[in-house]
């Protein structure tokens, strides 16, 4: 008998569930278990973690017997650029204000695409920022400073 992963999708899904399950069990050990009658905060997550490990193991095990699809490659560039755009916004909104952080967000997310035309992105930024300021700051009164000086 040969052990070969026939369905990488399921194999890695199983591994992912086992990982999350183990994390849940390990972290829950810091919380009192209690008994079934008087459950402590550790009771429910420990059992859920255990169920998740078992399910993950079964899913992985089946991937050796049943044919399935392989995993398509990840789109790294969009993933990094979109993440960066949110980081810029998350940091910026507390430090440099609503307008500049939105500008950063839009430029970085536009850079996630395959085409990046500077002129287009600038026009898009202006339209989106004006719209967002109009709707969120003046329209529904979200209390964010527009720039770093106010």
Partner 1 sequence: MDFSQLLPNLALGFSTAVSPINLFYCFVGVLVGTLIGVLPGIGPVAAVAMLLPLTFNLNAVGAIIMLAGIYYGTQYGGSTTAILVNLPGESSSVVTCMDGHQMAKQGRAGPALAIAAIGSFFAGTVGTILVALLGPPLAEIALKFGAPEYFSLMVMALIAAAVLAHGGLLKTIAMIVLGLLIGIVGTDVNSGMSRFTFGASGLADGLSFAMLAMGLFGFAEILSNLEQGADTASRDVLNKKISGLMPTWQDLKDATGAILRGTAIGAFFGTLPGGGPTISAFSAYAVEKKVAKDPSRFGKGAIEGVAAPESANNAAVQCAFITTLTLGIPHGATMALLLGALTIQGIAPGPQVMTQRPDLFWGLIASMWIGNAMLVILNLPLVGLWVKLLKVPYRFLFPAIMTFMAIGVYSVNNLDLDIYMAIFFGILGYIFMKLKCEPAPLILAFVLGPLMEENLRRALLISRGDPTVFITRPISAAFLIATAVLLTIMVVPAIRKKREEAVAESASL
DSSP string over 42-82: THHHHHHHHHHHHHHHHHHHHTTTS--PPPPPP-HHHHHHH
Applying CB under 8 A, which of residues 5, 22, 33, 93 lies at the interface with partner 1?
A: 93
Sole residue written with tokens 């500008």: 103
Q: Is 63 in the site for partner 1 (CB under 8 A)?
A: no
Q: Is 118 in the site for partner 1 (CB under 8 A)?
A: no
Nearest residue (CB) to partner 1, 2 versus 138: 138
Q: How far, in Å, are 76, 83, 86, 104 from residue 118 at the CA level?
A: 22, 20, 20, 13
Applying CB under 8 A, which of residues 3, 4, 141, 150 lies at the interface with partner 1?
A: 141
Contact of 119 with 133, CB cutoff 8 Å: no
Category of 141 on φ-ψ map: left (φ > 0), alpha (ψ -120 to 50) or beta: left
Category of 97 on φ-ψ map: left (φ > 0), alpha (ψ -120 to 50) or beta: left
Least Å distance, CB 64 to partner 1, is 14
Nearest residue (CB) to partner 1, 1 versus 140: 140
Q: Which residues bind partner 1 (CB under 8 A)?
A: 9-10, 12-13, 16-17, 20, 24, 27-28, 31-32, 35-41, 44-45, 48-49, 51-52, 55-56, 58-59, 62, 69, 71-72, 74-75, 78-79, 82-83, 85-87, 89-91, 93-94, 102, 105-106, 109-110, 112-115, 120-121, 124, 128, 132, 135-136, 140-142
């Amino acid at each position: 008998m040969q052990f070969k992963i026939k369905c990488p999708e399921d194999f890695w899904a199983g591994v992912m569930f086992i990982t999350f399950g183990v994390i849940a069990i390990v972290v829950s050990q810091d919380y009192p278990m209690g008994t079934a009658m008087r459950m402590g905060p550790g009771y429910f997550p420990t059992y859920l973690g255990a169920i998740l490990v078992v399910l993950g193991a079964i899913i992985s095990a089946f991937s050796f017997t049943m044919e399935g699809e392989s995993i398509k490659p990840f789109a790294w560039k969009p993933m990094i650029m979109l993440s960066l755009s949110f980081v810029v916004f998350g940091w910026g909104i507390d430090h440099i204000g609503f307008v500049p952080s939105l500008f950063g967000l839009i430029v970085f997310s536009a850079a996630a695409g395959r085409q990046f035309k500077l002129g287009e992105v600038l026009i898009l930024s202006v339209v989106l920022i004006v719209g967002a300021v109009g709707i969120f700051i003046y329209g529904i009164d979200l209390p964010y400073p527009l720039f770093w000086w106010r």
